[in-house]
Structure 1
């Protein structure tokens, strides 16, 4: 399997399981309806574990443009490969979101609230304040990427044995920092499914909230860059 294919597959798995648990908890007429934040954070952590474990050997399991950027800034990943990895991650996230829609089509049809439908695909702030929302995403991603850089050192990515600590890191961030914005911490995870929401024939679609879409893209990238700089200056030496 090529690294491009592995990143695409891994990110698709991440979104199928991650957005899938949101669909199970949030949509009407599911067996998991009303499961709450703990179910969602646990589901996302499990999604990260499975996705990283599945493709670690083939691509290093970045599965996140913020991770790819941070590894490139640290000199652990070739800049020439950054665009192809990010494209694969975005495409995989889009494909994963479409698969979730296929699995939950009847539940999407039964859910009348457009915000709930959109929330299966992408993040939204609990309190809309774009500057503060940006800061929250940057902070959460800073913590995430700093942890990933330590876990992945000295390699160019994550190995299969790193799947569990990264999953626990995601679980901790979700429980601790996920409240304000839903902790995208991954531009592809938000943008790919948001694009899917925009094009899919959802019965109760509403808008895709493009006015907010820059926050879960820019916040994670800035947080990742800051984490890489700190890691280089103060931790790795």
Structure 2
């Protein structure tokens, strides 16, 4: 339940900020990429403060799988975590759609609509998306492990959570211009499925030919990051 609610909050706060910026007629229309960076940074920070003590605040199948592949998380908990994360992502995205439904109806740009659900490579290149998502994910998970495992933060895990939120927001601002970014299979695939199913006006293609990239690249990036952290610091 912690992973379910944490991932749902991630989507509501993160994709909610994207909807506020990208959809026509909202108070934040064309508010700029920095608003999305803040939304996603807080979308990670706030669940970490809420449920980190319960589940570790993975809220990301790539992190769960990457830890398990490196022997740092029990395999018998992987499926329950991943199911909870995908369910939370879908429910969180439904909340975003319900809250912004009048503005979805006003928006005629199909890529703007898709961008409030899932990610798109700016030059429509799977290779470019793969590179960007891999390195963004590596930095995210390596940085998160280093910060939460840092002895300076052991007596103040709240400060570590805050720093991870800042890291996510910075990644969105620094590397997010290419793909979105996803950095999280549940954050992308669950909402993309909803985009395909919901009867939204002007929604266009769900771009399934790209959908494997924000699933595979974060898992590879997370696995490499956890491996590097384990070899260097554990």
TM-score by length of 1: 0.92
How far 1:214 moved relative to its partner?
0.4
- Structure 1 range deviating more: 96-105 or 169-178: 169-178
1:106 and 1:177 map into 2 onto residues whose CA distance is: 31
Q: Could you tell me whether the CA contact under 8 Å between 1:141 and 1:185 is conserved in 2?
A: yes
SS in 1 for 2:164: helix
How far 1:149 moved relative to its partner?
1.5
Report the equivalent of 2:95: 99
1:161 and 1:60 map into 2 onto residues whose CA distance is: 15
Structure 1: runs of 5 or more not aligned? none
1:86 and 1:151 map into 2 onto residues whose CA distance is: 23
2:53 and 2:194 map into 1 onto residues whose CA distance is: 29
2:204 and 2:193 map into 1 onto residues whose CA distance is: 13
Q: Does 1:206 align with 2:211?
A: no
Q: Does 1:83 align with 2:79?
A: yes
Deviation digits for residues 44-102 of structure 1 (CA, Å, limit 9, x no counterpart):
11111112211112211100011112222343311110111011111100110011000
Report the equivalent of 1:194: 192
Say what the alpha-carbon RMSD is for the aligned residues: 1.7
Q: Could you tell me whether the CA contact under 8 Å between 1:140 and 1:173 is conserved in 2?
A: yes
1:103-142 correspondence runs (5 A): 103-142=99-138
TM-score by length of 2: 0.93
Q: Could you tell me whether the CA contact under 8 Å between 1:66 and 1:220 is conserved in 2?
A: yes
Q: Could you tell me whether the CA contact under 8 Å between 1:17 and 1:44 is conserved in 2?
A: yes
Q: Could you tell me whether the CA contact under 8 Å between 1:53 and 1:161 is conserved in 2?
A: no
Structure 2: runs of 5 or more not aligned? 151-156
1:1-237 correspondence runs (5 A): 5-153=1-149, 160-233=158-231, 235-237=232-234
1:119 and 1:179 map into 2 onto residues whose CA distance is: 12
Aligned length: 230
SS in 2 for 1:34: coil
Q: Could you tell me whether the CA contact under 8 Å between 1:24 and 1:30 is conserved in 2?
A: yes
How far 1:135 moved relative to its partner?
1.3
How far 1:160 moved relative to its partner?
4.6
How far 1:161 moved relative to its partner?
4.6
